[in-house]
Structure formats: C-alpha cells, structure tokens
Amino acid sequence: MTSRNSEANRAASSRRQVGSLPTAKAVVRSALLGLSAVALAALFAVPTSVPAAADPPLTVAEAKAQIAQLETDAAAIDQDYAGVQEKIAHVKGDLKLKQSDVKAQTAKVARMKAQVGQVALAQFQNRDLDTAAQLFVTPDTEDFLSQISTVEKVSENQNSVLQDFQQEQASLADLEHSAKTDLAALDEQQKELANLRAASEKKVAESKAVLAKLTADQQRQIALEEQKAAAEAKAEAERNATNTTSRNDTRESTGPAVTASGRGAKALAFARAQLGKPYRFGATGPNAYDCSGLTGAAWRAAGVSLSRTSQSQFHDGRPVAKSDLQPGDLVFFYSGISHVGLYAGNGMILHASRPGKPVEYIKMSYMPYAGARRPG
C-alpha cells in the first residue's frame, strides 16, 4: 500500500515538472512574436528629425518680381530716410541758433547779476534806517527832504533791475531747456536714421540673395532683359523728344506755345544729362541720386526749389491731371507716394528708380500712378 502511494506521488510530481516546462511549439511561437514586435517597431518608428524639403527653383519671372519688390521697398525706405535727414537738418539749424542765444543770454544775465549785487549791497547797508530815522539824524534836513523824491526814484530803479534780472534768468532757463530738448530729439532721430539705413540694406541683401538662387544662365537672361527694356525706353523717349522739338520749331514761326513750360524743359534737360548715373541711398547729386534727389536737383537747375522727399514734393507746385502732363512735371507713384520721376512725354518718365539700377527712362504704366504736380 505504501509502495503504491509512493509511486503515485512520484508520478504526480513528474507530471507537474513536465507541465511547468515550455513545449517546443511554445518556444518557437514566443520567439516569432518577439521578432514581429521588433520588426513592427522598426517599421512604424517616427524619425526625430525630418529633413526639410528644398525650395522649388525660382523661374526668371518669379525672381524678377521678387527682386523688383525688394528693391522698391528699399527705395521707399530711402524716402523715409531722406525725410528724417531733413528733420535733422532743421533741428541742427534751430539748435545752433538756440545755443547762440543761450550764450548771449548767459553773458547778459552775468552782467545783470553784478548790478543786482550792487543793489543788494546798498539795501543791506541801509537796512536799519527808515526815512524818518534818516531825517532825524541828518543835520541838513532841508537838503535831505529835497532829495527824498530822488531816493524814491532810485528805489524804483533798483526794484526794476531786480525784476529784469529775474525775467532774464527765466528766459535763460527756457532757452537751456529748449536746447536740451532739441539735443534729445536729435539723438532719437539719429537712431531712427540708423535703423532705416539698416532696414534698406537688408532689403537690398535679400534681393541679392534671390538673384544668387538662380543659375548663371538665368542671371544673364535677367540682365539682358533689363538692358533691352532700358534701351527701348531710352530710344522711345528720345524719339518723342526729337518729335516735340521738331513740332515746336515749326510752331515758333507762327507763334503758338511750346508743349513744355520753359522751366519744365530745363528741369528735364538737366535730368537727361544724368542718365546712367547710379542710384544711391540718400543721394542728391552730382554723382548719384535717389528719386527725389534727382527731381530736386533737376528743378533747382531750372530755378525752383523743391522739398526733399517724394512725399513732401507731392505738395509742391500745383496739381496736374494725368491727361495734361507736360515734360518736366513731377509724376508720383505708389499709395505711400514713395517714388517720383520727371515726365518725359509720350507716357514715359525719367527717374532714379531703385538700388542697383541707374537713372533711366521707364513707362509710367509699369508703376501704380498716384498723381502729378507742376512746380514753379
């Protein structure tokens, strides 16, 4: 009995041991599942950094449009720069006068201070004796009484000196404060000038970067197209000028008026002599120009002084309808009046356009028209 129980126990123990070990199929299935998990993880893993897709190559037309916009923006900033330059020139002029006034007023106050000192000393010496007391101690009373009116007059004069001194001191303080305010404003305007210059240069750098993205052949194509357009515009403008001169010569024999005013013709003639000169930031000639620098110089040669910027020149002279334009008239473009040129006839203007381009002719229709003025 005991022997049978022992055998039964050994058999049960053997079954438990066999049941606790994995079967061959279970081992294989587990291995396959593990491999599948690794493979799936590798398949669906998301990379931590995805390389950015390269920008599509620019077409010549796209590059030209971007470059033109950036350079036009730079030229618009240039007009703001010129406006700040003009303000600085005015502030410097006012400041110089004020500093001169401060110097003169300081000397005047110093002279008056000496007079006030003498008055104060006289008052101090006589501070303990009023008129009645002085009359009592004066041996020659008749002479003293005869001088009372004179003494009172001197007192009035002394008081007047004191009042004048106080007023002049206040004027000096006002002048010094005004000069200090102008100096602070000048400092801020100089900072604004530097910021505008940096912003313009950034636009120019961006335009160069756009050009650098193009192939050498594309860059040559743009250069040739610009040269061709400039040559065609110049030829058309010169044909118009020749035809105008011919018509005027014919009319002079019968006495009618010429198509361009005398001053407008002189302004345009001056501008023509600047053809090919470079555009330069804030330049007013004679070797380079910005847009309003050219128009200002041209009309100055005709005997008319214009304001410095395109925005301010838009208020010079009198308005002219587009249909009534004459050579030499000022023609303005863009909603912010950020560009100006000289009308050259037949729908053409002569202008200093933007960085990287020289003084040249261009069709008015290439830019959004904003208005026209006739100086003089």
Confidence band, pLDDT 50/70/90 cuts, at residue 121:
low
Question: What residues form DSSP beta bridges with 372?
Answer: 331
Helices (H), the chain: 2-20, 24-44, 60-125, 131-137, 141-146, 148-212, 216-252, 262-272, 291-301, 310-313
Kindly state whether residues 196 and 222 are assigned to the same domain. Answer: no
pLDDT digits (tens, 9 = 90+) for 349-370: 999 988 888 999 999 999 999 9
Q: Give per-residue pLDDT as tens, 292-342.
A: 999 999 999 999 999 999 999 999 999 999 999 999 999 999 988 999 999
Whether 102 has a pLDDT exceeding 50, the answer reads yes
359 and 305 both lie in a single domain: yes
Instruction: Look at 176 and 50; give whichever has higher pLDDT.
Output: 176
Q: Is residue 224 part of a domain?
A: yes
Let me know if residue 54 belongs to a domain. Answer: no
Q: Is 303 left (phi over 0), alpha (psi -120 to 50) or beta?
A: left
| Domain-located, residue 8 | no
> CATH no. for residue 318?
3.90.1720.10
Q: Running DSSP on this structure, what letter comes out for residue 56?
A: P
Query: Do residues 68 and 155 both lie within one domain?
Result: yes
Q: Torsions phi, psi of 163, nearest 5? A: -65, -45
The DSSP code for 322 is G
My answer on whether 192 and 266 are in the same domain is no
pLDDT at 342: 98
For 170, the domain range is: 60-212
222 inside domain: yes
For residue 305, what pLDDT is reported?
97
Whether 306 and 346 map to the same domain: the answer is: yes
State the Cα–Cα distance between residues 56 and 52, nearest whole angstrom. 12
Q: Which residues pair with 361 in a beta bridge?
A: 350
- Strand partners of residue 362: 349
Q: What is the mean pLDDT of residues 26-50?
A: 44
Query: What is the arithmetic mean of pLDDT over 206-235?
Result: 89
Tell me if residue 291 is catalytic: yes
- Predicted model pTM: 0.63
- Candidates 90, 177, 315, 351; catalytic one: 351
- Flag whether 203 is in a domain: yes
34 assigned to some structural domain: no
Same domain, 231 and 359: yes
Give yes or no: residues 118 and 221 share one domain: no
Whether 241 is covered by a domain: the verdict is: yes
Count of domains forming the chain = 2
Which of 4-18, 46-60, 204-218, 230-244 is the least confident region?
Answer: 4-18
Element (H, E) at 373: strand 369-374
- Is pLDDT above 50 for 144? yes
What confidence tier does 164 reach under pLDDT thresholds 50, 70, 90? Answer: confident
Say yes or no: 274 and 165 in one domain: no
Separation CA 116–CA 137 (nearest Å): 28
**Co-location of 292 and 148 in the same domain:** no
173 and 77, same domain (yes or no): yes
154 has pLDDT over 60: no
56, 103, 123 from 231: Cα distances, Å: 33, 59, 89
Whether the per-residue pLDDT at 14 is higher than 60: the answer is no
Asked if 291 contacts 312 with a C-beta cutoff of 8 angstroms, the reply is no
| Maximum mean pLDDT: which of 123-132, 217-226, 336-345 | 336-345
DSSP single-letter state for residue 283:
-
Question: Domain for residue 275, yes or no?
Answer: yes
Residues contacting residue 27 through CB under 8 Å, at least 6 positions apart: none
Range list of β-strands (E), 298-367: 318-319, 330-333, 339-345, 348-352, 359-363
Q: What is the mean pLDDT of residues 152-168?
A: 69
221 and 362 part of one domain: yes
Distances (CA, A) of 66 to 114, 174, 283: 71, 52, 25
Structure confidence at residue 341 (pLDDT): 98
CATH code where residue 70 lies: 1.10.287
Query: Among this protein's residues, is 90 annotated catalytic?
Result: no
66-75, 181-190, 232-241, 304-313: which is most confident: 304-313
Please write the tens of the pLDDT for every residue from 82-100.
Answer: 888 888 888 888 888 888 8
Nearest to 270, CA basis, from 330, 334, 342, 203 = 342
Separation between Cα atoms, residue 121 and residue 38, nearest integer Å: 107
351 given a catalytic annotation:
yes
Do 348 and 202 fall into the same domain? no
Q: Predicted confidence band at 67 (pLDDT cuts at 50, 70, 90)? A: confident
